[in-house]
Structures are given as structure tokens and as C-alpha cells.
């Protein structure tokens, strides 16, 4: 494996670089889109169930099918990375919109009511009170979405753009174990590092959660 | 792109090899096998950890660790190691199924009101009775949601089996892509999504059936 | 002054919560809304800061209809305390207290400095300032809730069951603090409780609601105890209301008899006990001064081995006695 790595470091690094941005760009885009959608699911309760159902159906579309379809719908080239980014953004939105809605719904009504009673207007209450209190739930969803995206990117290799996934297809075609193993390990490591990064961010931005264990 | 492939009667001939019903059945077969094996492995472990509290670290991290494994890589790794066949596919899919079931079994037991478990012990139940008569029935809603998300994932991911030459609905995607037949790809995607939604409905129905109405109120 | 002018609240499909209520919450006093659950007391309270809008009628603050005012601005000028305090879990105690001043445009620094002083005012040591609500006990959280409501120094405070989530011993302490604070601050307070004893203890004025959002009686605690308007109020204020009403009068005008020889006193004249036999002296069971309540006198007369309450002067010297039948005669004469 070491030999493989030293002989193919260029290829592996290029695959890793592509993997990182193919996975993480959709997380950012998806998060930005999911926030307002999730909020709508709370602001207008009748949207909540449709939102959950649509998200569920979107998430059950096989990634391979979505990767293949988007060029037809978007008019992009089949080998364009945009297909992967858009597909993963859709999954991220499907996952996070529900998490954002659930997180906001989990905020104790006593807390939102006392904010209102103290004279918060709706928007500032959302920014100052509801979002911060929902943040642990939302960030937990972000961890899931990030890790899932990192492992999903490799399926893109079946249509020619898949970061570390290209190491899988290459190894598979040549019946050669090393590249597959390197790809799997790097992919898992990348997911672990990204996950850890979010955990550390969460610790830093939600210090109060450390004390909530003992509360009934 | 159109629906012609999906609605062509010739593709629905149960007898013809590679027809939609045949692919659907083999797809379903992979899904059921993977779910069955995964449950047999993950459920006892998750219940044990949840009941005793020992090894919580494993249960908490199993979910994310499992999700981080790239299924395509795992599958190709297994095929390269074990050769073509059902076994490598099943291993890859089972690995996918274990984390959500294990984590939800653990989380389901941990989320229970400790007073209820205490009361169960207080009326003289043995550990096994506490688990089967109190903890398990009460943890069912959480456990079922884990099982449902495992099902959704495995239905969508089983399509990858076609990439290593096996059957299942992934054939429509891979073969359609190979010959630029988008109508076939669309048919595959729709059938997989419909299958996922239907299975989820069946499980939702089963959940209503097996979960005590007393637990439904608060959920 | 807060005025309810023929206020009605009807929920669609849910019946009448508040039924033609007219009342006044006087400035600088504590007015307690009390009644069984579902009597409209909380709904009434929440109409003051427009958390709920009346179906008809008006709620006025100092003559101005709240309906015409900007909701958020109105609320920033009214302190609000609720059961379980409703503190923001993601903010430190200090920042919780600083909330409204910051909303009103104060800098965070100014607001925090003021908040520190308020914590002390509600009896919390400065080391609590940097803790999060989850690190506090229920009683401490409730104190922070009060400090937060006081932070912008609002003339009006609304309190919705503020003390019902804490245990009786802690509640007792919070009651004392409340009375002490209110004596200093003189806020216009409207408070909701389901506990009539709390209402009588804390309220200058008590409004008793009955099912269906109807006001059964408005009066001072003493008036409610001595002169309930109807069966419902009599039942609600409780069976021992006669005895409790004695808490509102002192023994200043209660006639006493001279101290008899049977009362054994020390050289300074302080009572030691009653001589009930040749060498048998039994303790008096306690003494009262003319500043104590009639309820204490009755209590002492009952507890005394000879049925006589002993009065002492400021030095503790016995200066008179009241046998229980004298007390009964006095109470009967006072009523007539």
C-alpha cells in the first residue's frame, strides 16, 4: 500500500482534493438552503408534514440515479462536477431541512414565550433565541449530512467524477486491491476529520450544553 | 427523457430475464437478506449496550462510523477479495444496515424514563423480563425509526450491486447509462423510489400495529 | 393603573375564557388573580402585555388602550415572570438578566454591569453571574427570572405562577424576598396563582375568578376572609378562614386582666410558668405583645395548660393575661 501511495501520490492527492470540495461545497449550499425551508416548516405548521414526506422521498432516490439524471435536467455535461454538487446539495437539503425544523420545534415553548413577553420581535427572536437553542440539534444533523456526503461522493465515480471513488473503479477494473483500500481508508479518515471538526465547533459555540445533563 | 421504458409492457414480463419485476424481486431479496442479517447482529448488541450501559461509546459512534464507510468502495473491495457473487454484496449492504439499528436500539433504551425501569425492577421483574416486557416495548418507536431509515438507505444503495455485475434495480441505471438510454435510467430511479416509499409505508403501518397506543399519545 | 374594561375572550370552539371582566390593578400595589384552573386568570394576565388579544372590551394602562400600542415596545416596558422562569438556556445568568436592556438599545457592557447589581438585589451571589441556567436550582432560576423581569426597571410586573414550581421551603423564602423587594420597589404587580394562601399572603388586592372567566369577588385579603361574597368564595378561601382572618388584627385593643399569683415569674418579672400544684409548674407555651396578631393570642390560649394567654411588655415582663373566654367575648363584641 505504501508503494502504491508513493508511486501514485499525484493521482491520490488530486482525487482527495476533488473529493473534499465535491463533498463539502454541497454541505454549505445545502445548509444555507435548508435553514429558510426548515424555518418555514415551523412558522407554518401545515408545511411540516409535506416537508418531512418530500424530504423522505428525495432521500430515497438512489444517488446513482440522481447523478445520471441531473445532466439531462440541468443541461450539463455528464462528466461535469456540477451534477455531483447539485445532487449532494439536494440530499443535504432533504436531510437538514427536517433537522432544522425539528430543532426549532424542540425549543421549549416557555422559552419562546418568555422571549416574546420580553419584547422580542419575530425575526430577532429567531436569531437571538430560537436558533441558538436549536443549534445542538441542527449541528448533529450537519454531522450526519457531512459524513453521508463524503461517503456518497465516491458513487459519482460510476459516471466518471467521484473523487476518491475513482480509485475504487480503477482498482476494480484492474482487479487490484491497493487503490481500493487507499480510497476507502482516506474516505473514512476524511469523514472522521470533518466530523471531529464539527464536534469541536459545536463545543466552542454551544458551551451551555455541557451542563444540561442532570436536568429533568 | 421519457417514461416509455417504464410503461412498455414488454419490460414487465415476469418470465423474461432482466424484466422490471425480476430486477425488483432480486433487489428486494438483497434488501431483505441484508436487513435480516444486520438486525440479527445489531439488535442484540444495541439492546445489550442500552440495557447495561456498557460500551455506550461504541453505540454512539457506530452510527457515524458506519455512515462514513463508502459503500461502493467496500463493495468493490469485497468483490476484489472474495470474487463475484452474492456474498460480497451482502457484506457491504449489511455493514450499511448495522449502524442505524444498533444506534437506535441503544438510544431507544437510553431514552426511557429511568423511573419506569426502576418500577419494573421494583415489582419483581428479572433483568430479562425488564428487557422484554418493559424496555423493549417502550423503545419500539425509536427502534422502528432506526429500522426504517436503515431500510430506506439499503433500498437506495442496493442499486450499486449492479456496478459489480449483479442484478437488482441498479441494472436499469448502469445499463441505461452504458447505452445512453435515459428512459431506462428514469424507470430504474422511479421504481427504486417507489419501492422505498412503499416499504416505508408498510413499516409505518407495522409500527402502528406493534407499538402500544399508550406510547403514541406522547409522540 | 391597569384597567380591564368589560373584557371578553372567546376562543373559537373553546368556549368563553374571560367573561365581561372589569377590574382595576392599582399602581404600586400587588394584585393577585386567583382561582381554579380554567378560570381565565392567566388569560386575563396575558391580555395586559398583548400576549393574548381580547375578543371585546379594552385593557388600559394608565388610561391608554394597549391594543393601540406596538406589541414589542409595550412588552419591553412590562416585566414578566413565569413558572420555571423560562430562562434562556444558551445564555449565562448575567446575559439572561441583561436581555431587555439590550433590546432597549443599551450596550452589552452597561446592561451587564446593571445586571450584576440586580442579582445581588434578588439574593444571588456574584459567582452565579457566569453560570448557565442548567447549573442552578429551581429556586435560584426563579430568582434570576425575577431579576430579568426587573432589569429594565419596568413600572409594571406580570407574574404567572412565579413560585409554584419550587418546593414549599424554598417558596417560603422566595415569598419573604418578594415582600421585601416589593416594599422597596413599589411596582404595579399583577400576579396569577392557584394557591389562595399565597394570594392572601402576597396580595394587597385579591381577585377571585370562578370557572368560565367570571370574577367572583375583588377585595383585600381581609375582606375576602371576613366577608366572602358567596358560597364559592367561602369554599375557595377555605374552612379555617375565620381563624386566618385574625391574622390581620393586632392585640393592641385586646383587654387584659392583671397578672395573677399563679403565674410564676423571675426577678425581672418574666413569666416562667403556671403553678398547677404544690410543686408543679408548667410552661406557659409562649407569650404575646400588643403588636402581635389576634391569631397568635388565640393560638396561645389554646396551647396554654390553663387556657390563658400571657402578654408581656417590650422587656419581656408579664403585664397582663387573656383567658380564652375573654378573647371570645372580645371577638364577639367586635363583630357586633
Beta bridge partners of C321: C257, C310
Distance from CA of A98 to the nearest CA of C (A): 22
Chain B contact set for A169 (CB, 8 A): 76
Q: Which residues of C touch A110 (CB under 8 A)?
A: 82-84, 86
Task: Check: CB of residue B196 under 8 Å from CB of residue B152.
Answer: yes
How many Å lie between the alpha carbon of A121 and the closest alpha carbon of chain B?
A: 30
* Residue of chain A whose Cα is closest to the Cα of C51: A117
A 40-79 residues inside an 8 A Cβ radius of B = 56-57, 59-66, 68-69, 72-73
Within an 8 Å CB–CB cutoff, is residue B188 touching chain A? Answer: yes
Q: Using a CB-CB distance cutoff of 8 angstroms, which residues of chain C are in contact with residue A129?
A: 88, 90
* Residues 6+ away with beta carbon under 8 Å from B82: B88, B91
Chain A residue with CA closest to C72: the answer is A119
Q: What is the pLDDT of residue A120?
A: 94
Are residues A215 and C82, on separate chains, in Cβ contact within 8 Å?
no
| Chain C residues touching residue A205 (CB < 8 angstroms) | none
Cell numbers representing residue B201 in the block: 409505508
In chain B, domain spans = 19-214
Give the mean pLDDT of B46-74. Answer: 84
Q: At what angle do helices B86-110 and B71-82 cross, to 10 degrees?
A: 140
Domains and CATH numbers, chain C: 2-248 (3.40.50.300), 251-335 (3.10.580.10)
Q: C45 burial class (0-12, 13-18, 19+ CB within 10 angstroms)?
A: buried
DSSP state of A202: H
Q: What are phi and psi of C53, to 5 degrees?
A: -100, 140
Nearest CA in chain C to A133: C90
8 Å CB contact between A58 and A72: no
Q: Which three cell numbers stand for residue B211?
A: 407499538
- Tell me the residues of chain A between 92 and 131 that have a Cβ less than 8 Å away from chain B: none
Tell me which H or E stretch contains C271: strand C271-277
Nearest CA in chain B to A73: B1
pLDDT in tens, B129-163: 888 888 888 888 889 988 998 998 899 889 888 88
pLDDT digit string, tens, across residues B7-29: 787 777 777 777 888 899 999 99
Task: Write out chain C residues lying below 8 Å of A214, CB-based.
Answer: 134
Q: Do B69 and A144 touch (CB under 8 A)?
A: no
pLDDT surpasses 90 at A92: yes
Q: Is the CB of A120 inside 8 Å of chain C's CB atoms?
A: yes
Rounded Cα distance, C118 and C137, in Å: 18
> Which residues of chain A lie closer than 8 angstroms to B193, CB-CB?
57, 60-62
Partner C contacted by A142 (CB < 8 A)? no
Q: Which three cell numbers stand for residue C58?
A: 379594552
Mutation for A interface: C48, C83, C86, most A CBs within 10 A? C86
Contact A85, A38 (CB under 8 A): no
pLDDT of residue A64: 82
Looking at residue A212, its pLDDT comes to 67
Quote the mean pLDDT of chain C. 90
Residues C189 and C203: beta-carbon distance below 8 Å: no
| Minimal C-alpha gap between B10 and chain A (Å) | 22
Q: State how far residue A59 is from chain C, nearest Cα, in angstroms.
A: 32
Q: Determine the residue among B1, B3, B57, B73 to mutate to test chain A binding: the one whose Cβ has the most chain A Cβ atoms within 10 Å.
A: B73
**Counts of helices then strands in chain B (DSSP H, E):** 10, 0
Q: With beta carbons less than 8 A apart as the criterion, state whether A63 and A155 touch.
A: yes
Hey, are the CB atoms on B160 and A155 less than 8 Å from each other? yes
Q: Chain B contact for A151, CB < 8 A?
A: yes
CATH H-level, domain B19-214: superfamily: MetI-like (1.10.3720.10)
Name the packing angle between helices B86-110 and B56-68 (round to 10°).
140
What pLDDT, on the 0 to 100 scale, is given for residue A214?
44
DSSP B79: H
How far is residue C97's CA from residue C140's CA, in Å, rounded to a whole number? 13
Return the C-alpha cell found at B50: 442500552
- C135 closest CB neighbour out of A115, A206, A211: A211
Note whether C194 and C35 are within 8 A (CB): yes
CA-based nearest residue in chain C for residue A212: C134
* Residues C290, B38: Cα–Cα separation, whole Å: 83
Residue B219 has pLDDT above 70, yes or no: no
pLDDT confidence bin for B53, thresholds 50/70/90: confident
Q: Summarize the confidence of residues B113-133 as an average pLDDT.
A: 84
Inter-chain CB proximity C148 and A121 less than 8 Å? no
> Is A2-206 in CATH node 3.40.50.10800?
no
How confident is the model over B162-184, as pLDDT tens digits?
Answer: 888 888 899 998 888 888 888 88
What is the Cβ-side half-sphere exposure of residue A63, based on CA atoms within 13 angstroms?
Answer: 31
Instruction: Say how far apart CA A2 and CA C11 lie, in whole Å.
Output: 74
Mutation test of the interface with chain A: which of B70, B103, B161, B180, choosing the one with the most A Cβ atoms within 10 A?
A: B70
Whether A215 has a pLDDT exceeding 70, the answer reads no
Instruction: Inform me whether the C-beta atom of residue C51 falls under 8 Å from chain A C-beta atoms.
Output: yes
Query: How many DSSP H helices and E strands does chain A contain?
Result: 10, 0
Closest CA to C269 of C318, C210, C320: C318
Q: Which of B1, B72, B150 to mutate to test the interface with A (most CBs of A within 10 A)?
A: B72
CA angle B203, B206, B207 (to 5 degrees): 85
- Percent of chain B past pLDDT 90, that is, above it, reads 24
Q: Mutation test of the interface with chain C: which of A117, A126, A209, choosing the one with the most C Cβ atoms within 10 A?
A: A117
pLDDT digits (tens), chain C, 336 positions: 999 999 999 988 878 899 999 999 999 999 999 998 889 999 999 999 999 999 999 999 999 999 989 989 999 999 999 888 889 999 999 999 999 999 999 999 999 999 999 998 888 999 999 999 999 988 899 899 999 999 989 999 999 999 888 888 888 888 988 999 999 999 999 999 998 889 988 999 999 999 889 999 999 998 888 888 998 998 888 877 777 788 878 888 888 899 888 888 888 888 888 888 778 888 888 899 988 888 889 988 888 888 899 999 888 888 899 998 888 888 888 765
Contact A16, A190 (CB under 8 A): yes
Pairwise CB contact (< 8 Å): C91 & A208:
yes
Check residue A1 and give its pLDDT: 72
Of C72, C132, C135, the CB nearest to A119: C72
Asked whether the beta carbons of A155 and B72 are under 8 A apart, the reply is yes
d(CA A43, CA C202): 39
pLDDT, tens only, A53-80: 888 888 878 888 888 888 888 888 888 8
Inter-chain contact C72–A120, Cβ cutoff 8 Å? Answer: yes
Is the pLDDT confidence value at A23 over 60?
A: yes
Tell me the three cell numbers of residue C41: 386568570
Confidence of residue A88 (pLDDT cuts 50, 70, 90): very high
CB-based contacts of C52: which residues, under 8 Å, 6+ apart? C9, C43, C46
Nearest to B72 among A165, A175, A176 (CB): A165
Amino acid at each position: 500500500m505504501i508503494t502504491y501511495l508513493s508511486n501514485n501520490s499525484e493521482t491520490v492527492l488530486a482525487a482527495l482534493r476533488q473529493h473534499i470540495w465535491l463533498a463539502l461545497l454541497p454541505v454549505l449550499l445545502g445548509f444555507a438552503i435548508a435553514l429558510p425551508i426548515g424555518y418555514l416548516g415551523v412558522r407554518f405548521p401545515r408545511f411540516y408534514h409535506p416537508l418531512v414526506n418530500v424530504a423522505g422521498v428525495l432521500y430515497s432516490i438512489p444517488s446513482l440515479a440522481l447523478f445520471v439524471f441531473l445532466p439531462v435536467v440541468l443541461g450539463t455535461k455528464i462528466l461535469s462536477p456540477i451534477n455531483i454538487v447539485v445532487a449532494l446539495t439536494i440530499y443535504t437539503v432533504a436531510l437538514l431541512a427536517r433537522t432544522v425544523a425539528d430543532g426549532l420545534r424542540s425549543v421549549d415553548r416557555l422559552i419562546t414565550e418568555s422571549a416574546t413577553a420580553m419584547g422580542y420581535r419575530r425575526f430577532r427572536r429567531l436569531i437571538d433565541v430560537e436558533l441558538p437553542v436549536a443549534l445542538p440539534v441542527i449541528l448533529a444533523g450537519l454531522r450526519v449530512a457531512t459524513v453521508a456526503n463524503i461517503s456518497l461522493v465516491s458513487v459519482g465515480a460510476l459516471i466518471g467524477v467521484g473523487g476518491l471513488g475513482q480509485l475504487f473503479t480503477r482498482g476494480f477494473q484492474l482487479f487490484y486491491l491497493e487503490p481500493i483500500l487507499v480510497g476507502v481508508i482516506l474516505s473514512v479518515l476524511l469523514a472522521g476529520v470533518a466530523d471531529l471538526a464539527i464536534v469541536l465547533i459545536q463545543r466552542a459555540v454551544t458551551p451551555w450544553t455541557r451542563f444540561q445533563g442532570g436536568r429533568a | 427523457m421519457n417514461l416509455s421504458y417504464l410503461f412498455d409492457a414488454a419490460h414487465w414480463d415476469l418470465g423474461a430475464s432482466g424484466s422490471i419485476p425480476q430486477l425488483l424481486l432480486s433487489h428486494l431479496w438483497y434488501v431483505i437478506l441484508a436487513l435480516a442479517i444486520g438486525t440479527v447482529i445489531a439488535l442484540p448488541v444495541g439492546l445489550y449496550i442500552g440495557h447495561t450501559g456498557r460500551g455506550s461509546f461504541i453505540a454512539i459512534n457506530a452510527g457515524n462510523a458506519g455512515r462514513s464507510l463508502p459503500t461502493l468502495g467496500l463493495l468493490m473491495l469485497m468483490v476484489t477479495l472474495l470474487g463475484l457473487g452474492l456474498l460480497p454484496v451482502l457484506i457491504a449492504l449489511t455493514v450499511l444496515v448495522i449502524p442505524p439499528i444498533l444506534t437506535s436500539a441503544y438510544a431507544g433504551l437510553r431514552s426511557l424514563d429511568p423511573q419506569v425501569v426502576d418500577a419494573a425492577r421494583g415489582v419483581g421483574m428479572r433483568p430479562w423480563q425488564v428487557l422484554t416486557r418493559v424496555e423493549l416495548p417502550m423503545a419500539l418507536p425509536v427502534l422502528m425509526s432506526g429500522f426504517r431509515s436503515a431500510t430506506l438507505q439499503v433500498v437506495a444503495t442496493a442499486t450499486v450491486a449492479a456496478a459489480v455485475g449483479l442484478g437488482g434495480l441498479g441494472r436499469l441505471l448502469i445499463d441505461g447509462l452504458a447505452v445512453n438510454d435515459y428512459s431506462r435510467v428514469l424507470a430504474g430511479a422511479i421504481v427504486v423510489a417507489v419501492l422505498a416509499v412503499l416499504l416505508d409505508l408498510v413499516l409505518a403501518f407495522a409500527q402502528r400495529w406493534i407499538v402500544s397506543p399508550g406510547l403514541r399519545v406522547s409522540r | 393603573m391597569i384597567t380591564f374594561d368589560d373584557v371578553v375572550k372567546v376562543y373559537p370552539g373553546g368556549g368563553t375564557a374571560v367573561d365581561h371582566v372589569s377590574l382595576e390593578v392599582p399602581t404600586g400595589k400587588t394584585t393577585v388573580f386567583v382561582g381554579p384552573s380554567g378560570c381565565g386568570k392567566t388569560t386575563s394576565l396575558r391580555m395586559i402585555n398583548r400576549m393574548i388579544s381580547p375578543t371585546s372590551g379594552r385593557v388600559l394602562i394608565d388610561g391608554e388602550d394597549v391594543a393601540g400600542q406596538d406589541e414589542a415596545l409595550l412588552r419591553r416596558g412590562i416585566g414578566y415572570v413565569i413558572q420555571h422562569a423560562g430562562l434562556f438556556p444558551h445564555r449565562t445568568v448575567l446575559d439572561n438578566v441583561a436581555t431587555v436592556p439590550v433590546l432597549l438599545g443599551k450596550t452589552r457592557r452597561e446592561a451587564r454591569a446593571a445586571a450584576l447589581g440586580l442579582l445581588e438585589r434578588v439574593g444571588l451571589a456574584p459567582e452565579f453571574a457566569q453560570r448557565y441556567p442548567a447549573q442552578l436550582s429551581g429556586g435560584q432560576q426563579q430568582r434570576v427570572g425575577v431579576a430579568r423581569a426587573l432589569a429594565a426597571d419596568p413600572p409594571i410586573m406580570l407574574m404567572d405562577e412565579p413560585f409554584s414550581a419550587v418546593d414549599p421551603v424554598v417558596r417560603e423564602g422566595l415569598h419573604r424576598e418578594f415582600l421585601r423587594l416589593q416594599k422597596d420597589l413599589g411596582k404595579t404587580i399583577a400576579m396569577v396563582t392557584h394557591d389562595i394562601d399565597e394570594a392572601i399572603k402576597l396580595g394587597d388586592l385579591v381577585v377571585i375568578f370562578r370557572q368560565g372567566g367570571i370574577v367572583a369577588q375583588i377585595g383585600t385579603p381581609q375582606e375576602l376572609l371576613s366577608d366572602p361574597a358567596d358560597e364559592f368564595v367561602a369554599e375557595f378561601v377555605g374552612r379555617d378562614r375565620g381563624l386566618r382572618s385574625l391574622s390581620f388584627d393586632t392585640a393592641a385593643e385586646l383587654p387584659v386582666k392583671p397578672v395573677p399569683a399563679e403565674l410564676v415569674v423571675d426577678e425581672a418579672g418574666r413569666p416562667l410558668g403556671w403553678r398547677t400544684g404544690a410543686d408543679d409548674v408548667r410552661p406557659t407555651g409562649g407569650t404575646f405583645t400588643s403588636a402581635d396578631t389576634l391569631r397568635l393570642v388565640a393560638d396561645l390560649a389554646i396551647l396554654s395548660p390553663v387556657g390563658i394567654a400571657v402578654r408581656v411588655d417590650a422587656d419581656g415582663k408579664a403585664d397582663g393575661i387573656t383567658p380564652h373566654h375573654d378573647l371570645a367575648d372580645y371577638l364577639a363584641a367586635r363583630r357586633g
